[in-house]
Amino acid sequence: MTEAPFQFDRETAVEALGDGRWSTQVVSDWNIGDNPNGGYLVGSAVRAAIEATGQPDPLTVTTHYLRPGLGGSDGELDLDIVRRGRRFTNVDARLTQDGKARYHLVAAMGDLGNGTLSDEPVEHSLTQAPVDIPPPDECRSRSNLEQGVDLPIMTRLDVRIDPQWADAGTADRAEVSGWIRFADGRPVDAASLVLFGDAFPPSLFSLLGKVGWVPTLELTVHVRRRPVPGWIQARFTTTDLHDGLLVEDGQLWDEDGHLVARTRQLALLL
């Protein structure tokens, strides 16, 4: 494994073994309680996809979480290039640890730096403006929330929560807003938005209080732009909970106020 200057890169490093197989490792420093964070877990697959396809950016990443990952264990990735296209390359990736599949991921890779992904310049654009929240210094660290779970991941990420959503079970709706960056100063890029889209407390926390571990069945992240350097602002809401299954929506903006990613996940309330 190469020695990268930042934690996220060292701790998602991959090595090609040939025939679409890659070795990687999962460290426990990104855990939520006893389980590696799902956004961290797919970091190695996104990295292998970038290397295998030659496309720098994940445009859409859908992950089915099959079993919790194992922090502190090696892993093996199987990466299949499903279709290689001029603008988009589709991949399929599975992480195996201790003989069992941990997740199954499909992604379309592309290049967000080309100006336009369409054949012709598209003059129309629509966007969602960021919500108005206090600056990071006036928000509360996720470490200080009463979530009822240990958060080793806070050694790796700096996550600040808008005080409006920081007290368990006190809000009138399920929402969380705040800011996120790497703890060690690693610059943000398109690939890290896949991680940042799954690194906030469940938005049900503000409405229902301590909800513990909310296992994700399926998470899709759409990366819409490469972010400018700085903090990422994020907002997550849950307005759809039925029979123990919930859908959570997320939006991420960069410091220029551009919408850089959107997320949606199907998760289980235990």
In the complex, the residues that contact a second copy under the rule CB under 8 A are 59-60, 62, 64, 66-67, 82-83, 88, 90, 92, 94, 101, 104, 106, 108, 112, 115-122, 124-128, 174, 208, 217-218, 220, 222, 224-225, 238-247, 259, 262, 264, 266, 268-270
Minimum CB distance to a second copy, residue 117 (Å): 5
Instruction: Please identify which residue in the block is written with the tokens 């934690």.
Output: 7
Nearer to a second copy among residue 59 and residue 153 (C-beta): 59
Nearer to a second copy among residue 18 and residue 121 (C-beta): 121
Measured between alpha carbons, how far is 192 from 230 in angstroms, rounded to an integer?
Answer: 13
- Under 8 Å between Cβ of 232 and 188: yes
Choose among 259, 8, 36, 24: nearest CA to 158. Answer: 8
Minimum CB distance to a second copy, residue 268 (Å): 6
- Under 8 Å between Cβ of 49 and 81: no
Nearer to a second copy among residue 8 and residue 236 (C-beta): 236
Minimum CB distance to a second copy, residue 207 (Å): 8
Nearer to a second copy among residue 181 and residue 224 (C-beta): 224
Q: What is the DSSP letter of 120?
A: S
Nearer to a second copy among residue 108 and residue 153 (C-beta): 108
Within 8 A by CB and 6+ apart from 184, the residues are 6, 7, 156
Dihedral of alpha carbons 199, 211, 66, 106, sign? negative
Question: What's the token pair of residue 34?
Answer: 């006893």
Minimum CB distance to a second copy, residue 114 (Å): 8
Torsion angles phi and psi, residue 109, rounded to 5: -105, 150
Minimum CB distance to a second copy, residue 62 (Å): 5
Question: What's the token pair of residue 22?
Answer: 């890659």
Give SS3 for 180.
Answer: strand
Nearer to a second copy among residue 2 and residue 122 (C-beta): 122
Minimum CB distance to a second copy, residue 211 (Å): 10
Q: What is the DSSP letter of 86?
A: S
Measured between alpha carbons, how far is 84 from 150 in angstroms, rounded to an integer?
Answer: 42
Measured between alpha carbons, how far is 60 from 191 in angstroms, rounded to an integer?
Answer: 10
Instruction: Please identify which residue in the block is written with the tokens 């060292």.
Output: 10
Minimum CB distance to a second copy, residue 217 (Å): 6
Nearer to a second copy among residue 7 and residue 177 (C-beta): 177
